[in-house]
Amino acid sequence: MSAESCTFCRIASGEAPAIIVRQGERIIAFRDAHPVAPVHILIVPVRHLASINEVIASDVELLGEMLVLARDVAAREGVDQTGYRIVVNTGREAGQTVHHLHMHFLAGRQMSWPPG
Ligand code: AMP
Ligand code: ZN
């Protein structure tokens, strides 16, 4: 998919609206348009990567930064002590609908396991 037609590329470039939580050079975080938890934030690399399947060895630092950002989001949202869940849906059976890599940050309610 080209950057022009990718929703998350358009959000990252400022062309499409979103409630931005954090805008960095390499990673952006914004609130999910259809939250499934009281806190539902998407942590997204600015560079277009379709999914974890496209990740290469040189992306290790980027993926680590996404987790560090998740930790910061947890503290800022006040859920670092109560708990949160990080989810990366990959592919059809996992329910990935947006084909630009993203980490769901979910918190603010009791979660169940196994996930649906
Ligand atoms: P996934 O099913 O893992 O691909 O998740 C895609 C997520 O992106 C869903 O939770 C959607 O609600 C969310 N989403 C799709 N379009 C937008 C948008 N324009 N702004 C914010 N969140 C979006
Ligand atoms: Zn994209």
Q: What is the DSSP string of 28-71?
A: EEEE-SS-SSSEEEEEEESS---SGGG--GGGHHHHHHHHHHHH
pLDDT tier at 1, thresholds 50, 70, 90:
low
Q: What tens digit of pLDDT does each residue of 43-56 get?
A: 999 999 999 999 99
- Which of 3-7, 12-16, 45-49, 79-83 is predicted least confidently? 3-7
| Ligand sitting nearest the alpha carbon of 10 | 2
Instruction: Indicate which atom in ligand 1 lies nearest the CA of residue 32.
Output: 22
User: Cα 97 from chain centroid?
Assistant: 13
Number of the ligand 1 atom closest to the C-alpha atom of 11: 19
User: Measuring from each residue's beta carbon to the nearest atom of ligand 1, which residues come in under 6 Å?
Assistant: 7, 18, 32-34, 42, 89, 95-98
Query: Tell me: the pLDDT tens digits for 54-87?
Result: 999 999 999 999 999 999 999 999 999 999 999 9
Question: Distances from the Cα of 26 to the Cαs of 63, 79, 82, 93, 107, in angstroms?
Answer: 10, 24, 28, 28, 24
